[in-house]
Amino acid sequence: MEQKTALIAGATGLVGRALTELLLQAPEYREVIVLVRRPVEQWQQHAKLRQVIIDYEKLEEQRHDLQADDIYCCLGTTIRKARTQENMYRVDVIYPLELARIAHEEGAAAGTDRI
């Protein structure tokens, strides 16, 4: 079986952390790329993990960092954190759509396979 690369957006949230740990243990993946706003210390030493510092407002400029076989989006926020409906919509809708578009253009597979 050929090993794949996974990319996770929202890896520092509750769901994203659990998914990251799961994928790091999965033999199907040779590399797990996590998009983070700042480095996560506890992940620094994991050989299979690559942290990419991301600015979701500039996804197009970071297109080369969004190349993976499988993309997992765990982005989400609350109105309390976002402070406005516009900011919440950006995190919950705009960023995931833009990420999906770019990742697909960069070769990510479309599908519903599960590990």
The DSSP letter of residue 109 is: P
Residues 72 and 9: beta-carbon distance below 8 Å: yes
pLDDT in tens, 17-73: 999 999 999 999 999 999 999 998 887 788 999 999 999 999 999 999 999 999 999
* Residue 111: pLDDT over 80: no
Query: Which CATH number goes with the domain that contains 92?
Result: 3.40.50.720
19 occurs within a structural domain: yes
64 occurs within a structural domain: yes
Range of the domain at 69: 4-105
CA distances in angstroms from 88 to 47, 49, 65, 83, listed in the order given: 34, 28, 24, 8
Residues 31 and 8: beta-carbon distance below 8 Å: no
115 occurs within a structural domain: no
Mean pLDDT computed over every residue of the chain: 92
CA distance 105 to 41: 31
Residue type, 39: P
Q: Considering the chain, what percentage of its residues have pLDDT values greater than 90?
A: 83
CA distance 78 to 33: 25
Q: How many domains does the chain have?
A: 1
112 occurs within a structural domain: no
pTM equals 0.90
